[in-house]
Amino acid sequence: MYAFRSVEEKWQKRWLAEHSDKTPELSTSKQKCYVLEMLPYPSGKIHMGHVRNYCIGDVLARFKKAQGYKVLHPQGWDAFGLPAENAAVQNGIAPKTWTERNIASMKDTLLPLGLSYDWDREIATCSPEYYGHEQRFFIEMFEKGLVYQKESWVNWDPVDCTVLANEQVVDGKGWRSGVPVVKKLMKHWCLRITDYAEKLLNNLERLREQPGIAGWPEKVLTMQRNWIGKSEGALVRFEFVDISTVGNDYHDQALVVFTTRPETLFGASFCAVACDHPLAAACAKRDHELEQFIDDCRKTPVTESALSTAEKQGYDTGIRVKNPLKPDQTLPVFVANFVLMEYGTGAVFGCPAHDERDFDFAKKYALPITPVIEGPTEERLPYVATNGKMIHSDFLNDLAVLEARAKACDWVEQHGVGHRKVTYRLRDWAVSRQRYWGCPIPIICCPKCGAVPVQIEDLPVVLPEDVDFNEPGNPLERHPSWKHTKCPQCESEAVRETDTLDTFFESSWYFLRYCCPKDKEPLNKEAVEKWLPVDFYIGGVEHAVLHLLYARFFTMVLKDLGYLSFEEPFSTLLTQGMVCHTSFQDEKGQWLYPSEVERQNDGSYVTTDGKHPVMAVRSEKMSKSKKNIIDPEQMVKTYGADALRIFIMSDTPYDKDFDWNTEALDGSWKYMNKLWRLSEIWSRAFDFSGGVRPSYSSAIPSEDAPELLKTAHRYLKKITRALEQFAFHKAIAFHRELTREIENSSLEVLPVEVAREVAYIWLLTIAPFAPHFACEAFELMFRVDPLGFMSSWPLLREDLAQEESVTIAVQVNGKLRGTVEATLDVDQETVQTAALALEGVYKFTNGKSVKRVIFVPNKLLNIVVV
C-alpha cells in the first residue's frame, strides 16, 4: 500500500525548508508567468470550492514552471470584513484576533494540499503595512478629484447596519444578510469610476482571446459590458406650459429628459420624474399627498431588476409641459416609481405605443397611445422592435427608424431644445462603510477647512484595537480618543472620518503588491512592470462584475497616478465551476450531513443508525446551510492530497460544475496505489543509476523505436496539449491510458535507456497533479534527489509522437469527392470539418442543406445533401 501520509509530509517539509517555491529573480519579463488565484476571505475553514480553485492554479503554476517559465504564485488573505465584526459581537473575540486565528487555521489546511505558494510573499490586507498604502492611493485620488463626498440616498442594510453598493443588492436584499434593503439619506465617499466607463468598456475588446492568450470568457465580457451599460441617445427639453405652477423651488424653465428613442417623440403622451428628482421635491412642498407618495416610493427597492417587476405607480403633479416637436401638445408630468434618479437625468418621456413599461403605465392612468412606427400588421402594441417606417410623425414620416432617430437628433440640436448624449448605467463607487473592521478613510473633518486629507507622512492611519462592541453601530464613532485630532492645515481641533473603506478596495490592488510585498513604497514600479499582467487569474464567476471591474478601474487609476504603465491587470481569466453535492433531508425536513447518511443496496438512503429514511434532495452547490459539505481536511487525511488533487481535476472540465462523489475519490486513491506499485516494479526491474535525464534516444531512429517509447511520446504530446488548453481532466485521462499501456508492456524486452525515457515522461507528466508522489517515485526509481528535476518538462520527440494515420474517403451523396488524412481513431467532427473545407466537397455542398452524415470510423464520411 502506498504510504501517502508519510510521503506527503516528507515532501511538504522539504519544500518548505528549502523554499522550493520561492519566486525566482526576474531580469526581464520574458518567460515569466504570474499565476494567481483569487485571495480567500479567512472565514476559518477551507471548503471544496477553494480546493478546486487552488488546484487549478497549482497545476498551472507547476506545469509552467516545468516548461521553463519563471513563476510567481502567491497567496494571501482578504482579511477585512463584516464576519469578523459579527464574531466580535457574538463571541466577544476582537476582530483582529478572530481574523488571525482563522488565517492560521486555514493555512494549516492549505499546507497539507501541497500547493506551490511562495509564502514569503503572503499578504493579509488587514495589516497596516498593507492598508497604509491604499490610504495613500485614496489621498492621491482625492487630490486628483477622483474622490468626492456626496449626500444621497443609499441602500441601507438594516441588519448589518451598513450601506451597500448596488452590486451588493441582490433581488432587493442585502447580499450577506438576505434582508430587504431600505433607502436612507447619507453622506458618503465615492470614487469616480464613471470617468473610466468608456475605457472600461473599450478595453474589453483587448481581453478577448488572442494568439497565444486565452483571454477572458465571453460571458464575463458580456456581463461587464452590460454592467457598464452604455446608451446612446439625446437630452430633450420639455418647456413648462405655465411656469407659475412649478413654484420657486425649481429653477429651470423646462424638464430635461434622457431618451434613447428620440424618433418616438411624436408618440409621447406623458413625462415622468423619479421621486428624488428636484421637481418632485418642489411639488411635494405644496402637495401633502405627493409627499406621502414619495415616501412610499422610497420604501420600495431601488435596483433596476427589482423595479422592473414591481407594480408601476405614478402620481400626477398637475404640471404640464410642451412636446418640443409638437408645441400645441401638452403632456402631464408624473412622479413615477419606475424612474431612477441615478440614471440619465432622472426624468423621461413616455411613448406607450413602443415601450412595455410606458404601455402599462398609460393603460393604468388612461393616457393616449399613439403608434408612430408601423410594424408588421400582425404585431400588437406595444411594438418595441425598430424595424418598420415612421407614421404620424410629421417630418419623420416614411423614414426608417434609425434614419428618423438621426433626423430627430439633428432637429432638436438645430432648434436648441436638446442634444445627443451618451449615458452609462455604471454608477460611481460608494466606498464608505459605517463599520469598524476595515481600512480607515484617511480624511480629517475640520470645522474650518472641511474635509482635509491626512498628511502622507502620517500614514498609516491605524485602526485602534481598544474598541468595544457592546452597542450597535460603528465603535470608531464611540471611541474616546481615536477620532479626535488636529487639522493638518489650520491646526484646529478636528475629527477623523470614522467610515472605513469597502473591502473591495483591498482586493482591487493586492495582485500588484505581491510583486513587492515588503517594499516601503506602495508599489515597486520595476517589479510590477515585470510581473504584470497576471497571466492566469483563477476564480469564481460570481466576481465577474464586482471585483473584476473594480480591479480593472484601480489599475487604470494607478496608471494615471504614475505607479504603472499598463491598464489591464489580468490577461487570461479562468472561471471555475462550482463544487456540488447531493443534499439530504430527513422526514422532518432537517438537513443532514453526508456523513449522517448511508446508501442502501436499492439506492435509497437512511440515517447511519438505520432508523430513519432520508431523501436525497438534489445536487447543488456545497453550502453550510444545506449541510451538503465535504471537509477537505478530512479527505486529505483519508485519501491523501495527491488523490484529492487528481480527483478534483478529473472528469469534469474546470469551468463546469463538479459533482462530488466520494466513491470516485476512492478511485483516485486506487490510482495513486497503482502508480506506486508500478514504480516499485520498475525500480526493481531497471537500474537507472547511470543518469537521470534520458539521453533522448537520439541514437534510436524512429523506425527502430520500441512501441512503448512511441506511446510515451504520443501521450506526452497529448498531455502537454491538454494542459495548454486547460483541459486538466483530459490530461489525467491520458495519463491513465499511458499507465495502462505501461502495465501491459513486457519489461524483459525493454532496453534500459528506453525504460528510463518512458519512466521520466510517465512521472513528470503527472507531477503537476500529484507532486508528492512524483517526488517519491522519482527518488525511488532514479535514486537521486528529485527536487531539481520537478521543474522540468520532458522533451518531445515529434517523430516518435506521430500517430498512425489513416486516409478517409469523403463522399457527397455517395460519390467520392475527396479524401482526408487524419490520425487513427479520429472523431467524426474533426473529419467533417476538414471534409467540408475541401474544395471538391465544398462545390457540391455549398448552398445545400446537410440532411445526414454517415461516418465509418477510419474509413469513410458520406455527406447527404438536398
Per CB under 6 A, residues contacting ligand ANZ are: 231, 258-261, 264, 338-340, 343-344, 346, 348-349, 351, 354-355
Q: How far is the CB of 287 from ligand ANZ (least distance, A)?
A: 22
Q: Which is nearer to ligand ANZ, 232 or 493 (CB)?
A: 232
Of these partners, ligand ANZ, Zn ion, none, which one is at the site of residue 397 (CB under 5 to 8 Å by kind)?
none
- Quote the DSSP letter at residue 441: P
User: Using CA of residue 59, residue 65, residue 66, residue 68, what is the dihedral sign?
Assistant: positive
Q: Which is nearer to ligand ANZ, 226 or 565 (CB)?
A: 226
Q: Which is nearer to ligand ANZ, 266 or 647 (CB)?
A: 266
Q: Which is nearer to ligand ANZ, 545 or 606 (CB)?
A: 545
Of these partners, ligand ANZ, Zn ion, none, which one is at the site of residue 80 (CB under 5 to 8 Å by kind)?
none
Of these partners, Zn ion, ligand ANZ, none, which one is at the site of residue 636 (CB under 5 to 8 Å by kind)?
none
Of these partners, ligand ANZ, Zn ion, none, which one is at the site of residue 258 (CB under 5 to 8 Å by kind)?
ligand ANZ
Q: In what order do the strands lie in the sheet with 32-37?
A: 70-72, 32-37, 534-540, 570-576
The strand pair at 658-659 and 579-585 is best described as: parallel
Interface with Zn ion by CB under 5 A: which residues? 446, 448-449, 487, 489-490, 492
Of these partners, Zn ion, ligand ANZ, none, which one is at the site of residue 834 (CB under 5 to 8 Å by kind)?
none
The Cα 836–Cα 684 span in angstroms is 53
Q: How far is the CB of 388 from ligand ANZ (least distance, A)?
A: 12
Of these partners, ligand ANZ, Zn ion, none, which one is at the site of residue 500 (CB under 5 to 8 Å by kind)?
none
Q: Which is nearer to ligand ANZ, 138 or 349 (CB)?
A: 349
Of these partners, ligand ANZ, Zn ion, none, which one is at the site of residue 449 (CB under 5 to 8 Å by kind)?
Zn ion
Q: How far is the CB of 273 from ligand ANZ (least distance, A)?
A: 9
Element (H, E) at 374: strand 373-374
The Cα 298–Cα 276 span in angstroms is 9
The Cα 234–Cα 269 span in angstroms is 18
Q: Which is nearer to ligand ANZ, 266 or 510 (CB)?
A: 266
Q: Which is nearer to ligand ANZ, 89 or 545 (CB)?
A: 545
Q: How far is the CB of 394 from ligand ANZ (least distance, A)?
A: 17
Q: How far is the CB of 355 from ligand ANZ (least distance, A)?
A: 4
Cβ count within 10 A of residue 229:
14
Q: Which is nearer to ligand ANZ, 383 or 437 (CB)?
A: 383
Of these partners, Zn ion, ligand ANZ, none, which one is at the site of residue 595 (CB under 5 to 8 Å by kind)?
none
Nearest alpha-carbon partner for 831 in 793, 802, 862: 862
CA atoms within 13 A on the CB side of 499: 20
Q: Which is nearer to ligand ANZ, 146 or 404 (CB)?
A: 404
Of these partners, ligand ANZ, Zn ion, none, which one is at the site of residue 446 (CB under 5 to 8 Å by kind)?
Zn ion
Q: How far is the CB of 224 from ligand ANZ (least distance, A)?
A: 16
Whole-angstrom distance between the N-terminal and C-terminal Cα of the chain? 62
Q: How far is the CB of 553 from ligand ANZ (least distance, A)?
A: 21
Q: How far is the CB of 349 from ligand ANZ (least distance, A)?
A: 5
Nearest alpha-carbon partner for 516 in 74, 116, 132, 135: 74
Three-state secondary-structure class, residue 336: strand
Of these partners, ligand ANZ, Zn ion, none, which one is at the site of residue 487 (CB under 5 to 8 Å by kind)?
Zn ion
Q: Which is nearer to Zn ion, 450 or 840 (CB)?
A: 450
The Cα 164–Cα 166 span in angstroms is 6
Three-state secondary-structure class, residue 296: helix
Nearest alpha-carbon partner for 73 in 515, 409, 439: 515
The Cα 467–Cα 715 span in angstroms is 61
Nearest alpha-carbon partner for 35 in 731, 793, 572: 572
Of these partners, Zn ion, ligand ANZ, none, which one is at the site of residue 489 (CB under 5 to 8 Å by kind)?
Zn ion
Element (H, E) at 730: helix 728-744
The x, y and z cell numbers of residue 651, run together, are 472528469
Of these partners, ligand ANZ, Zn ion, none, which one is at the site of residue 372 (CB under 5 to 8 Å by kind)?
none
Q: Which is nearer to Zn ion, 223 or 445 (CB)?
A: 445
Segments of 115-209 assigned E as strands: 123-124, 147-157, 162-164, 169-170, 173-174, 182-191
Q: Which is nearer to ligand ANZ, 349 or 654 (CB)?
A: 349
The Cα 698–Cα 799 span in angstroms is 11
Q: Which is nearer to ligand ANZ, 317 or 555 (CB)?
A: 317
The Cα-based distances of 9 to 55, 111, 304, 635 in angstroms read 18, 10, 53, 15
DSSP 623-634: -GGGT----HHH
Cβ count within 10 A of residue 710:
18
The Cα 665–Cα 48 span in angstroms is 13
Nearest alpha-carbon partner for 660 in 602, 716, 774, 580: 580
Of these partners, Zn ion, ligand ANZ, none, which one is at the site of residue 355 (CB under 5 to 8 Å by kind)?
ligand ANZ
Q: Which is nearer to ligand ANZ, 159 or 385 (CB)?
A: 385
Q: How far is the CB of 396 from Zn ion (least distance, A)?
A: 58
Q: How far is the CB of 89 from ligand ANZ (least distance, A)?
A: 38
Q: Which is nearer to ligand ANZ, 238 or 669 (CB)?
A: 238
Q: How far is the CB of 496 from Zn ion (least distance, A)?
A: 13
CA Rg value for the chain? 33
∠ Cα 251 253 259 (to 5°): 105
Q: How far is the CB of 487 from Zn ion (least distance, A)?
A: 3
Nearest alpha-carbon partner for 263 in 421, 391, 368, 378: 391
User: Using CA of residue 648, residue 652, residue 654, residue 660, what is the dihedral sign?
Assistant: negative
Q: Map 147-159 to HEC letters.
A: EEEEEEEEEEECC
Segments of 4-129 assigned E as strands: 32-37, 70-72, 76-77, 123-124
Three-state secondary-structure class, residue 820: strand
Of these partners, Zn ion, ligand ANZ, none, which one is at the site of residue 712 (CB under 5 to 8 Å by kind)?
none
Q: How far is the CB of 492 from Zn ion (least distance, A)?
A: 5
Q: How far is the CB of 351 from ligand ANZ (least distance, A)?
A: 4
The Cα 53–Cα 579 span in angstroms is 10
Of these partners, ligand ANZ, Zn ion, none, which one is at the site of residue 448 (CB under 5 to 8 Å by kind)?
Zn ion
Q: How far is the CB of 190 from Zn ion (least distance, A)?
A: 23
Q: How far is the CB of 727 from ligand ANZ (least distance, A)?
A: 39
Of these partners, Zn ion, ligand ANZ, none, which one is at the site of residue 773 (CB under 5 to 8 Å by kind)?
none
Segments of 600-681 assigned E as strands: 605-607, 613-621, 658-659
Q: What are phi and psi of 240, to 5 degrees?
A: -75, 140
Q: Which is nearer to ligand ANZ, 345 or 832 (CB)?
A: 345
Of these partners, ligand ANZ, Zn ion, none, which one is at the site of residue 759 (CB under 5 to 8 Å by kind)?
none
∠ Cα 184 197 280 (to 5°): 35
Q: How far is the CB of 462 from Zn ion (least distance, A)?
A: 22
- Tell me the one-letter amino acid at 221: L
Q: Which is nearer to ligand ANZ, 345 or 811 (CB)?
A: 345
